[in-house]
Chains A and B, each alone.
Chain A
């Protein structure tokens, strides 16, 4: 018994210890070393490569300084957990960290992040950043906590060869959800060995399921998670239930991967590195960064990717205006509040995100540029043929509610998704359970019924 309790408690301590590794000892009081924590997982290795280059440049520029890279090898949700555990103690807290825009507000509230306004005020590069991108790095108090690295949009990727074999039109222009499911059903009928449509779902996928999956549906129904005017969370919306019904139809109707495939933590890697290149998946609702995996610099180079893969905007539920929808997120570099050498940490961030480095990273990781000088650079525009498409749908894109509760609410969305995809709950019951959980998280007074 005591063991079990100790296990749970020790897990936290242990992961923090393991993460910091032998480094905890030497960097504790040493302000000549800055620690940089970031994610490296599966096919996402571009940031690791980028950080290694910046480290070399930074150490050459600043003699006597050492950059200690701490790549956290974990899937997205576990990455947040491990980063939070690192941030809890001054001995392990990083000086610079790779931070998702939706966690900025929450982690700023938690006291993990240091405000950057005094640095950006004197940084001439700051003017090159688009205003909406700057907004994504703001905390609840209006201060800047994260410098954006790039943004993204989401849409349908489809395999043109498989579409040809199934007798579906190329280019494919679905107008409604019905069109998407019909195309998937056609693929299933004509090509029984192919997985027709992948939409990330379930707890194991964490934020990827909530954002690439659920919110791509919900924001095409006319309903939203959060009413930005009244600043209240929405309960009992028809769109929420309809989105869950889509997930249920997809998984229970056997148009998607089997639920056990979808619930595998590695499905994101499988999709990018195996299913799409090997033509075992026809349609994938995924991010603009997907092609980064297939570039020469990626983990699964696929020279023919641009000939085989097509992109289509995700349609709204019934084809209502504006006809298509998308979600945007993006990541930032943030400074740890417990950093012992904030000036050096800032210098590192400024170097990592100057024009040349931003451009190199945005190209390697297939990010939509957030600096005007990068997005207007012909080299950037020519680097990846899908940049044009994904930049265009920025027009119809939506952003996640930027409140510090969002992380917990996103977890509840994945719970509802998993309940319907495995058939354990009907969409109505799962939506009701979500509403109850929502009220528990934000309080009755911060919710409102759907309009």
Chain B
């Protein structure tokens, strides 16, 4: 995780890519030669990432389906799927649910809780640190499907949480049915906090102790030290972490599908669940891929915002 805040090495004379007067040609050729080892990686990225993105975008412009005549020979329909999508009342609801899920569980939940845990663990003793660390990381280590079943067992009507509540005399609600969004948000926070905690724990190591100590001598409170020293120093980690958790959370499918199946009704149908339903349950492949494309755009928009707002590369 230390790679998230790299220390830029001073350029040594004669090294690096910096073009030097009189040797421009050689420099260009040399940098071309030096980028040759990157070629396999670029080709692989193009095949396995760019390829599917392009083919999915093309798919979203066709009327491909799982059965019926259009399964045999799908035809190009332009932006019909998008027009239909924007007219579909389920779509805005799904976008709103996706944003709620994203903001509540990733941006607020995982990030704030992860940072809080990382700070608290810094000043706690070794045993507490080891225990809390183990508990938190366990959820993250579990395969997604196992974590989803665990969460289902926890929030189920006769599950762990309601059994515990019953012990103290409270009749819990039927979480998955009455509060589907809250349940999946809590489950995603549980599952994802470990990642943020690890990122922040590493980042906090880079906060120079002499600065915090001198601020303490100057009379800064703990809160002031956090806001004026710690956060600015770990700014780049925050940006990277926000981006990663946002993208991970946008793509959460298994957790929601297992816990609520997107229901009841459409009350927890985020965009990935909606895309799956349209494409594979209702057989409308083209329409489903149009939703996936929108999801891609939402993710790209968030990434741009983070990169702009937190300027990770400027020191």
Contacts and interface: CB of A to CB of B under 8 A. Distances in A.
B275 A408 contact: no
The B interface, classified by DSSP as helix, strand, loop or mixed, is helix
The A interface, classified by DSSP as helix, strand, loop or mixed, is helix
Contacts, number: 140
Contact of A4 (B68, B265, B295): B295
Contact of A422 (B66, B174, B265, B283): B265
Contact of B261 (A88, A263, A408, A422): A263
A77 B292 contact: no
A9 B66 contact: no
Interface residues of A, number: 45
Contacts of A4: 247, 250-251, 253, 272, 292, 295-296, 299
B66 A81 contact: yes
Contact of A85 (B55, B66, B248): B66
A7 B284 contact: no
A203 to B, nearest CB: 7
A106 interface: yes
Contacts of B56: 5, 8-9
B170 to A, nearest CB: 20
Given A4-B251, A103-B67, A110-B71, A203 B49 contact: no
B276 A8 contact: yes
A128 B67 CA distance: 31
A284 interface: no
Contact of B174 (A12, A109, A260, A424): A260
Interface string A414-451: 00001100101000000001000000100000000000
A6 B47 CA distance: 12
A404 B67 contact: yes
Interface string B257-301: 000010111110000100111011111100011001101100110
Interface of A: 1-9, 11-12, 77-78, 80-81, 84-85, 88, 103, 106-107, 109-112, 202-204, 206, 258-260, 263, 265, 404-405, 407-408, 411, 418-419, 422, 424, 433, 440
**6 tightest A-B contacts by CB?**
A4-B251, A1-B299, A110-B71, A111-B72, A84-B66, A109-B69
17 contacts: A1-B300, A1-B303, A3-B247, A4-B295, A7-B253, A8-B292, A81-B280, A81-B283, A84-B283, A109-B67, A110-B72, A111-B72, A260-B174, A263-B264, A407-B68, A407-B283, A422-B267
